[in-house]
Copies of this chain bind each other. A is one copy, B any other.
Amino acid sequence: MKRIADSTVRRLSVYLRFLEGSSQRGLPTISSEELAAHGGTTSAQVRKDLSFFGSFGKRGLGYSVPELTSSLRDILGLGRAWKVAIVGAGKIGIALAQYDGFRSRGFHVVAVYDSDERKVGTRWDGMTVRHLSSMAADMAEYEPEIAVLAVPAEAAQEVAMGVVDAGFKAILNFAPTQLHVPPEVSVRSVNLALELEGLSYELSNRSR
């Protein structure tokens, strides 16, 4: 399959959210203009994004909301549940372990890990924090697929290699550092301070 840009995949998620809202309101069809307005893009871009995955909609009639919703869910791999392990039981890790927004999209946190003996054994939302060293052995039991890394920057690369060795094929990285992993492992990064720096940049350059 052709390599699709991350930005395209991100827009598919945004379209899907809008479609789900339209579906709840009982709308039968939607135009590329409406999807574009919600996704902050153009209708030409909407048509191009969807064209990678097949032929959707009819000229002049728009897209069927139930059909496109179902197709996008399938394309994004949301037709099933995914098992997630949180690595790092600090403030951010624990908040993520309890985050309803994950579960409601089919991402189920099945394990929380830390290497700090003071955190191992503590309980959060019915889950006991487990020691990082037991991760590889746990894989057979829990079969997690996505690792969420919420560890300090200086530990992130080493922890990432442990996660890869344990067999994870996807990492959501919250540590403010670039991870180097084998090409078969997918990584997405969320850098909270970096987003704030984007705002401080804009505030500074407005007031100049």
Contacts and interface: CB of A to CB of B under 8 A. Distances in A.
19 contacts: A10-B194, A10-B198, A13-B197, A14-B178, A40-B178, A76-B204, A77-B203, A91-B95, A94-B95, A99-B192, A101-B192, A102-B192, A105-B196, A105-B197, A146-B203, A172-B196, A186-B206, A190-B190, A190-B195
Nearest to A194: B13
Interface string A7-43: 0011011100100000000000000000000111000
**Copies of this chain assembled into the complex:** 2
Contacts of A172: 195-196, 199
A16 B194 CA distance: 10
Interface residues of A, number: 61
Contacts of A120: none
Interface of A: 1, 4, 6, 9-10, 12-14, 17, 38-40, 75-78, 82, 84, 91-92, 94-96, 98-99, 101-102, 104-107, 145-146, 169-172, 176-178, 184, 186, 188, 190-206, 208
